[in-house]
Amino acid sequence: MLTIKDLKASVEEKQILNGLNFEVKPGEVHAIMGPNGSGKSTLASVLAGREEYEVTGGEVIFNGEDLLEMSPEDRARAGVFLAFQYPVEIPGVSNANFLKTAVNEVRKSKGLEALDSKQFLKIMQEKMKLVEMDKAMTQRSVNEGFSGGEKKRNEIFQMAMLEPSLAILDETDSGLDIDALRIVANGVNALRDGKRSFIVITHYQRLLDYIVPDFVHVLYKGRIVKSGTKELALELEEKGYDWIKEEVDATLNA
C-alpha cells in the first residue's frame, strides 16, 4: 500500500528526514515512536503534502502511484488521511458543513454522486456514535473553542466520515483523558477492517494497549533506527531512548 524509499526532506534549509525507509501493507498498523524533534510530524506532513516541507530525495509509492507528485487534496481523495497533532480552527464554518464538503469532494473524485443533506446526516449520526461525539459539536465551528481532547476526538470523527485507506494519526492520544483515550482507540479499532492501514505516531505505550500495532518503529534523527513488534514499545517505556541513541550515534560516528 505504502512504500517509502530513502526519503529525504528539509524545512527552511534544514534537513529533517535523512533517508527513511518504511513499508506499510494493507490492514497493518504501524506505530512510530521517537524522541521530540526526531521528525515524526515532518514525516506525516510530507506524506500529506505540506508545501513548506521540501522533498530532497527518495520516493513514496502509494497504491502504485507516485504520492509525491500528487497535490495534497488529491492525496486526501486517494485515501490518505492525517489526524493533525494540532488541528486547525476554521471560524464560522460548521463541522457538519465542512465535513459535507469534504466527503462530497472525495466522493466526486471516485465518480460517486454527492450525498444530499439527509443522507449525509444519517451517516454522520452513525459515525458520531462511534466516537461518542455530542451532536452540538457538529454544529459548532470547526475546532473553534474545542478543548484539546475534543479536537483530537473530532479528528477521529472526521476520519470515520472520510473512510481513508491509510490513516496517519499524529499524537492523537496526547491531551486525552483516560475515557477519551478509550473512545478514540475504540473508534480506530472499529475502522480496522483488514484493509485499512494505520500509522500511529505516539509517545506512550499506553495507547498501544488499546490499538495493538503489528509493528513498532523508532524514528531518530530522521531515520527509522529500530523496528520491532509490540514488545519494543514496552521496552522503550521502560528504558527510554538513550540506549537507542547511543547505538545509533556510535554507528554514525564509527
Partner 1 sequence: MSDDLKILDDVANSEYKWGFVSNIESDNAPKGLNEDIVRFISAKKNEPEWLLEYRLKAFRHWQTMTEPVWPNVTYPKVDFQDIIYYSAPKPKVQLDSLDDLDPEIKATFDKLGISLEEQKRLANVAVDAVIDSVSVKTTFRETLLEKGIIFSSFSEAVHEHPELVKKYLGSVVPYTDNFYAALNAAVFSDGSFCYIPKGVRCPMELSTYFRINSAGTGQFERTLIIADEGSYVSYLEGCTAPMRDENQLHAAVVEIVSHAEAQVKYSTVQNWYPGDKDGKGGIFNFVTKRGICLGYKSKISWTQVETGSAVTWKYPSVILKGDNSVGEFYSVAVTNNMQQADTGTKMIHIGKNTSSTIISKGISGGRSHNSYRGLVKINKSADNARNFSQCDSLLLGDQCGAHTFPYLEVSNKTAKVEHEATTSKVGEDQIFYCNQRGISTEDAVGLIVNGYCKEVFNQLPMEFAVEAQKLLAISLEGSVG
Ligand X SMILES: Nc1ncnc2c1ncn2[C@@H]1O[C@H](COP(=O)(O)OP(=O)(O)OP(=O)(O)O)[C@@H](O)[C@H]1O
User: Which one of residues 38, 158, 202, 205 is an interface residue with ligand X (CB under 6 A)?
Assistant: 38
Bridge partners (DSSP) of residue 31 are 200, 216
- In sequence order, which ranges of 110-147 are alpha helices (DSSP H)? 117-130, 135-139
Interaction with Mg ion in 67-126: which residues (CB under 5 A)? 85
Bridge partners (DSSP) of residue 227 are 217
Contact 205, 41 (CB under 8 A): no
The residue count for binding partner 1 (CB under 8 A) is 31
Give the closest residue to 137 by CA, choosing from 119, 88, 147: 147
Virtual CA dihedral for 52, 58, 61, 65, nearest 10 degrees? 80
The answer to whether 42 contacts Mg ion (rule: CB under 5 A) is: no
Q: Which is nearer to ligand X, 52 or 113 (CB)?
A: 52
User: Which one of residues 4, 124, 162, 199 is an interface residue with partner 1 (CB under 8 A)?
Assistant: 162
Q: Which DSSP state fits 191? A: T
Interaction with partner 1 in 70-99: which residues (CB under 8 A)? 71-73, 75-77, 81-82, 84, 87-93, 97-99
Q: Which is nearer to ligand X, 51 or 113 (CB)?
A: 51
Q: Which is nearer to ligand X, 120 or 241 (CB)?
A: 241
CB of 40 to Mg ion, least distance (A): 5
User: Which one of residues 18, 41, 172, 202 is an interface residue with Mg ion (CB under 5 A)?
Assistant: 41
169 interacts with, out of Mg ion, ligand X, partner 1, none, CB within 5 to 8 A per kind: none
CB of 11 to Mg ion, least distance (A): 13
* Nine-digit cell string for 31: 506505530
CB of 238 to Mg ion, least distance (A): 22
- In sequence order, which ranges of the chain are alpha helices (DSSP H)? 40-48, 72-77, 95-109, 117-130, 135-139, 148-162, 178-190, 205-210, 230-239, 242-253
Output the furthest CA–CA distance in the chain (Å, rounded): 64
Contact 83, 172 (CB under 8 A): yes
Binding site for ligand X (CB under 6 A): 11-12, 14, 16, 34, 36-42, 52
Binding site for Mg ion (CB under 5 A): 40-41, 85
Binding site for partner 1 (CB under 8 A): 48-51, 71-73, 75-77, 81-82, 84, 87-93, 97-99, 101-102, 105-106, 109, 141, 158, 162
